[in-house]
Amino acid sequence: MKVKTHYLIISLFIAFLFSSGRMDAQELPDISSVPADLVVPAITVHEPGRGLRVRQTTPGWESTRVYHTLYLPRNWKAGSRFPVIVEYAGNGNFRNQYGDSCNGMPEGCSLGYGLSGGKDFIWVCLPFVDTAGGIKHNAVNWWGDIDETRRYTIATLNDLAGAFGADTACVILAGFSRGAIACNYIGLCDDETAPVWRAFFCHSHYDGVYEHWPYPRADRASALTRLQRLKGRPQWISQEGSVKNIQDYLLETGVKGDFTFQSIPFRNHTDRWVLRNIPQRKAARAWLRRVVETSSSTKR
């Protein structure tokens, strides 16, 4: 308990220094200074089962190279309904000076496992589907074919509902970096897709903050159209160092929402902070519980 209290005091002090402009990102501690207490399960070749993470392809895409990963929680059982965390990965081929990296593939994701601790939620990491080159495959960078990505996402959720009890009334869309942008860019792309999600977990980047990404409709006018489809649903918004640029952007839009902002007091561009017992993960899990409890009360 003394160690946890000591770390809490340090992390809050670091967050204060950064937000007040008295600390640069390079001066923040490295995430490796906090030992991980969770390890994301390796992909197995088994059929889906409780506590296993497997590679799958949704029916209708069997002749392609498109795939996703599925994890059934340790307390999963047939006939029960479980809320779902859908996760999109960051861009691939990424590595920075701190050793942070991302392969851009579903198996590289961490958020859903860290948030759930491996229980109570079905966790599925979905691809961005690329149709270039004659055969459909997972896009390592950016969106691929947006319509095909959206179709694969919806079809996968419907398949999981029938096969494994995925509760399609309580689906949380999560993402890191590219995936964080995708929470709005893909998740709120049209009036058919937007209502699917109960809430959104966006870590590091946010749709509309930066207008010069190399893809269509990255401009703020287009991002605002997407954001207006949020309609008050909860969004967790976090970022390494400081989240102030996103707060400022959302204030400028004038869109009101159930936004929870959290600065992560480390220098790393990574989703792997959720694999560590730090106050920010505790806050994220509390946010997730609130989302699920609100969803349950709404269904009643």
How do residues 131-175 score in pLDDT, each as one tens digit? 998 899 999 999 999 999 999 999 999 999 999 999 999 999 999
> What three-state secondary structure class fits 172?
strand
Tell me the two tokens of residue 204.
């590091």
pLDDT of residue 298: 58
With 0-12 / 13-18 / 19 or more C-beta atoms within 10 angstroms meaning exposed / middle / buried, residue 174 is buried
> What three-state secondary structure class fits 161?
helix
Measured between alpha carbons, how far is 4 from 279 in angstroms, rounded to an integer?
Answer: 9
Query: Which 8-state DSSP code applies to residue 192?
Result: T
Check whether 87 has a pLDDT greater than 80. yes
Q: Can you list the domains of the chain with their CATH numbers?
A: 2-299 (3.40.50.1820)
Query: Which 8-state DSSP code applies to residue 268?
Result: -
Give the mean pLDDT of 47-68.
97
State pLDDT tens for residues 238-268: 999 999 999 999 999 999 999 999 999 999 9
Tell me the two tokens of residue 181.
């942008």
Tell me the two tokens of residue 233.
């649903």
Residue among 107, 116, 149 at smallest CA distance from 132:
149
The CA-CA-CA angle for residues 203, 271, 256, to 5°, reads 10
Give the type of residue at 289.
R
Tell me the two tokens of residue 127.
């691809």
pTM for the whole thing? 0.91
Measured between alpha carbons, how far is 148 from 167 in angstroms, rounded to an integer?
Answer: 23
Measured between alpha carbons, how far is 84 from 167 in angstroms, rounded to an integer?
Answer: 7
pLDDT of residue 294: 87
Tell me the two tokens of residue 252.
């400028």
Helices of type H across the chain = 2-19, 111-116, 146-164, 178-185, 220-227, 244-253, 279-299
What strands, in cross-sheet order, belong to the sheet with 53-56?
A: 43-44, 53-56, 68-71, 122-126, 82-88, 166-176, 199-203, 234-240, 258-264
Is-contact 124 86, C-beta < 8 A? Answer: yes
State pLDDT tens for residues 1-56: 333 444 444 444 444 444 434 346 668 999 999 999 999 999 998 899 999 999 99
pLDDT of residue 27: 84
Measured between alpha carbons, how far is 239 from 211 in angstroms, rounded to an integer?
Answer: 18
